[in-house]
Amino acid sequence: MRNFSKSSAQFEHADGRSAAASGARGKPVAKIQAPADMEGAADVIDKAFKSSIAHMTKGLSPAGMATKGFSWAAHLALSPGKQMLLAQKALKNNMLLWSHLGDAAMGAKAEPFAKPQNGDRRFSSEDWQKWPYNYLYQAFLLNQEWWQEATTNVDGLSSKDEREVSFVARQLLDMFAPSNGIATNPEVLKTALKEGGMNFVRGAENFAEDFEQYASGKRPESLDQFKPGEAVAATEGKVVFRNHLIELIQYSPATETVYPEPIFIVPAWIMKYYILDLSPENSLVRYLVEQGHTVFMVSWRNPTAEDRELGMDDYRQQGVMDALDAISTIVPDQKIHGVGYCLGGTMLSIAAAAMARDGDDRFASLTTLAAQVDFTEAGELMLFIRDSEIAFLSNMMWEQGYLDGMQMAGAFQILRSNDLVWSRLVHDYLIGERTGVNDLMAWNADLTRMPYRMHKEYLTKLFLHNDLASGRYMVGDRPIHIADIRAPIFAVGTVKDHVAPWRSAYKITAHPATDVTFLLTSGGHNAGIVSEPGHPRRHYQVQTIKSGDPYVDPDTWQAQAPTKEGSWWPEWHAWLAERSGEKGKPPTMGAPRKGYKVLCDAPGEYIHQL
């Protein structure tokens, strides 16, 4: 009989204080009581050992990666034809390089024959077209092409294994790109000669500053100009409800009359809510209230080790249902426009499906922003979602009680390592320059944690098993299905989304029982959503798929949907207005006589938790 689950995990600091009492940034140290039997002791040892490794590997399982590597190598060894093609390609690449070298040595213009992949700007400077740097980067790109060929189209290798091996090969190659070195990067050398090496002095200072900030967990001083409640998250409003997990903000009206149906926004709890209420000029919340909408927003609490057992259903009940009850009381007898961003959109969809199953029709419409309900094609993030990786992450979270924001940020950085890791290291530490800080960058650095149980359930039930799209996701003692939702849906995807790829977000258009308007906008997961009117170089495509229409695949949809210039926000507002009643007097702030009194000014208290 195992006694571990009852007695083995108590989290205290060395001085005896609880993790919560010592501050949210304090690192909980596991105080593990000895299990009563050898089986329990072995379990504790395994978890502690794997947790220590997971911290070093950022949650990546060495066993999982080794298994994929062995599988690729074994299938390649059994493919002599593929080996022949690779040998031929290697010979051709060497001949191209020698030809390139000869042209450069004779002073002739050596035209590049290997092109960087889309979005790769590392070698765009004219300095890279001079000898010997043109040879170095061409050799790197040819090597990159060869490994891409070597790790793809291997007979017998599954598509998932192929994507993972190819991804790892790219990451390893990028570590040794000539742009990352001092002697092999002409832009670095040019700067050093021009400044007498002072760029390296500034780079060393930048590195010391970043290391101190990382080790201490402090917020960078450069971000102090974007304090929530001042420069960002500054739209006027009141906190009208608070429970253990959320504060509910009701924003003050900005017009004399408002639409009768309130808007209820559920942001992701991976980060702070104010991605949708940044600076006044690009705040989606401010835009909505200025158009005459009554807006409510969830502000999530930043969990600590004591919240380790909060699960997905706690987030549904305390984060969505409790807030809906409050809104229905403050604005009675009106349906509600539900809006969910990223993970918040997934949770809103779960809640809406459960409500539809149970006959609760409070939603007038649903809007999902860069959110997924079907995870079969969830992009490169799926490379980290396997049984082996989830087990490793679970062991790491088991020790802490939560997944730290830095650990989650590391996974997203790996997906775009060229832009978010290597290019930044070169720019900050070798060139010695800092990139200017804006409100979106400040929000991105305002990290949060996720409870052990919730994150494990999220990865297992949604990403790994795809229970929600398959009708197996349980709410209460019965499963739910997205197809039960009858409210019209407006779904937004972004072209460059690495977190919720637009083709994955598009899957909601297969809904059989309601109209779905899908909008595809330029930009990425965050910047594409924060796309205020007047934002330069913005465009989008939009088209409605009616209930009962034949299925349209995403590529066909993209080819036939009309393109419009500008921000997508007015398009969405018009869609909401068509599904709203005539404007009237704004509701009161809160409902004191019914138990929802004003608690404090927006943005509330939870947003300031570290």
- Using the Cα atoms of residue 366, residue 367, residue 373 and residue 376 in order, give the sign of their dihedral: positive
The answer, yes or no, to whether the previous bond of 260 is cis (omega within 30 of 0) is: no
> DSSP class of residue 336?
E
What is the spatial distance between Cα 518 and Cα 244, in angstroms, rounded to a whole number? 35
- Nearest CA to 590 out of 329, 379, 352 is that of 329
Q: Looking at 342, 350, 430, 499, which residue is catalytic? A: 342
What is the spatial distance between Cα 115 and Cα 112, in angstroms, rounded to a whole number? 7
What is the spatial distance between Cα 114 and Cα 145, in angstroms, rounded to a whole number? 9
What is the spatial distance between Cα 466 and Cα 462, in angstroms, rounded to a whole number? 4
Residues 570, 531: contact at Cβ < 8 Å?
no
SS3 call for 530: coil
Residues 595, 589: contact at Cβ < 8 Å?
no
What φ, ψ does residue 59 adopt, rounded to 5°? 90, -5
What is the spatial distance between Cα 130 and Cα 137, in angstroms, rounded to a whole number? 11
SS3 call for 439: helix
Known active-site residue 342: yes
Q: How many CA atoms lie within 13 A of 445 on its CB side?
A: 21
Q: How many CA atoms lie within 13 A of 489 on its CB side?
A: 34
What is the spatial distance between Cα 199 and Cα 196, in angstroms, rounded to a whole number? 8
> DSSP class of residue 302?
-
Q: What is the DSSP string of 388-400?
A: HHHHHHHHHHHHH
Helices (H) and strands (E) in the chain, counts: 22, 17
Radius of gyration of the chain (CA): 26
Amino acid identity of 109? K
Q: Which residue has the tokens 């598009």?
A: 506
- Nearest CA to 482 out of 369, 373, 345, 361 is that of 373
Token pair of 191, please?
């700067």
If you count them, how many residues does the chain have?
Answer: 610
What is the spatial distance between Cα 225 and Cα 211, in angstroms, rounded to a whole number? 21
Q: How many CA atoms lie within 13 A of 482 on its CB side?
A: 23
Token pair of 129, please?
């077209």
Q: H/E element holding 12?
A: strand 10-12
- β pairing state of 363-369 and 450-451: unpaired
Q: How many CA atoms lie within 13 A of 189 on its CB side?
A: 13
> DSSP class of residue 473?
-
Q: H/E element holding 266?
A: strand 263-266
SS3 call for 365: strand
What is the spatial distance between Cα 348 and Cα 344, in angstroms, rounded to a whole number? 6
Active site residues: 342
